[in-house]
Amino acid sequence: MTNHELLAGFLDRSLSEDQLLEFEARQLADPAFAHEVKEMLTVERLLQQEPPRVDYPVGFLATIESNIAAKVAVGAAGGGLLGFLAHNAWTWIVGSTAAAAISGGALYFATRDSEPAPQTPVQERIQSAPARPTLEEPLPAQTPTAEAPIAATPSVTPVPSADRPITIDAKTTAPDPVLKQLIVEYEQCNTTNDHVRCAQYSLLLGRRFRSDGNTSEARQYLESAIRHAQTVRLVDYEMDAHGELGLLAKSRGDLDGATRSFERAIDIGRTHKRSVVRWTQELESLQQ
Amino acid sequence: MPYTLLTDEELFAMVRDQNDEQAFRALFKRYDKRVYAYCLRALGSHDDAQDVFQTIQLTVYDKRASFNDGSFAAWLFTIARNFCLKTLRGRKHNVEITDEVVTVEPEDTHSSDFLLRQALHKAIGQLPDEFREALSMKYFDDLPYEDIAAALDITVALAKVRVFRAKKLIQQTMSTIIDELR
């Protein structure tokens, strides 16, 4: 082996015992080599102790993390959330039918209230895990209950600070278990200032209320979605929430409001190089 | 679930196959600073580093299906390197490590180590690109030779040679100051 091969092996700690002895012998025999080894050890020490210090843009890194985490969650929602919605609706239908057929609604409801359904392994994992569950994981099955429908009009409290939760006192007038579960999820993430999830849930809720014709609730949630999305710079959600507000205004016959909202959605989308086809088409349909 | 006990590859599989958001966050936190520092060293400015970092992270997610085996770190740094090179080619000039990239703690400013570190950073900046890249991956990104080789698309033996030659060039550049301060 050459001196440099021995030196490289020594620095990488890959020399055998015999090679180490050879390495030592060569240093004794060659003072210039010994000097070179000392200097290389100094360089090695400096490299190992002193990586360049970087002023990390912590906020930027957190924003990127949140943005992509949202994509991951939406990826789950692509199949998972639809599956989740379908699953819950199906559970509701099956549960209602079975209960009515076997023992009547009241007995069924009473039983369900007193005996919680056994947990699936996934549900157990969700409850035991310290982290938040992902949208992909099925939420506990919803069954209709005899409890009175929660009736109220949602109200949004303006948020003075981005760190404070956006409070929506929203309760649905319909005994819709999916809607109720979404509201529960929204309130949970709101208490922990998880703006990514809040943006997702409030947008979903806004869409849902809009399609149900609950204009006021839809507007409140869509405006919340915009605020959450702005807080964590979720451009796609912000754009879509404006677009949904446009659809809402359109359904009320407020064409000026719809135009403004569609234009805002398109503006956001174009600024951040997102597809604005849908909102452009909606805007064009208004103008025709 | 103890995400900290999972390997990079296990976490990424959970992201890819199960859309597990927490797995993504755990994996992101393992590499965000290293990849960002890599971009900053390669590109020399925070603005460019942020642009490329964002592109890298989105690409990793969008191309998740294409990762099947091997080292996640090597795959990640291959993507990072490709985007950094693409950006550098767009600029058509080389960027050396700058004061913006290297920030030395002020309390060390009067020690001999400070002088040595300054000389080290200068010497690193003078290295040929391929040597500096391999050396940075080894010492600053903390990658094993196998991952360096995969990221640079070279053999492990050549990765070792490049790192050693980089250190040898640094030693030659710093020889005078090392002797003076000894």
Higher pLDDT pick, A288 / B74: B74
Helices and strands (H, E) in chain B, number of each type: 8, 0
Q: Which two tokens stand for residue A98?
A: 């079975």
- Residue that is written with structure tokens 């012998």 in the block: A25
Compute the nearest-CA separation of A135 from chain B (Å): 9
Lowest mean pLDDT among A53-62, A67-76, B14-23: A67-76
Handedness of CA A65, B37, B83, B149 (dihedral sign): negative
pLDDT in the model for residue B182: 63
In angstroms, the CA B102 to CA B121 distance is 8
Rounded Cα gap, residues A246 and A244, in angstroms: 5
Q: CB–CB of A118/A141 below 8 Å?
A: no
**Dist CA B80 CA B171 (whole Å):** 29
The mean pLDDT of A276-284, rounded to a whole number, is 86
Q: Which two tokens stand for residue B40?
A: 């900053």
A74 phi and psi angles, rounded to 5 deg: -65, -35
pLDDT digits (tens, 9 = 90+) for B31-62: 999 999 989 888 888 999 999 999 999 999 98
User: In this model, does residue A260 exceed pLDDT 80?
Assistant: yes
Amino acid at site A51: P
A64 contacts in B (CB within 8 Å)?
32, 53-54, 57
In this prediction, residues A77-86 reach a mean pLDDT of: 44
Determine, for residues B25 and A53 on separate chains, whether the beta-carbon distance falls below 8 Å: no
Give A14's contacts in chain B (Cβ within 8 Å).
Answer: none
Whether residues A51 and B170 touch (CB distance < 8 A) is answered with no
- Which parts of chain B register pLDDT below 70? 1, 92-113, 181-182
Q: What CA dihedral angle connects A269, A273, A275 and A280, to 10 degrees? A: 50
User: With contacts defined as CB-CB under 8 Å, which chain A residues touch B170?
Assistant: 43, 47
Angle at B45 between CA B42 and CA B48, to 5 degrees: 80
ipTM of the complex: 0.77
pLDDT in tens, A1-40: 899 899 998 888 888 888 888 998 999 999 999 999 999 9
CA A193/CA A94 separation, integer angstroms: 35
A42 in B contact zone (CB under 8 Å): yes
Where residue A193 falls (left for φ over 0; alpha for ψ -120 to 50; beta otherwise) is left
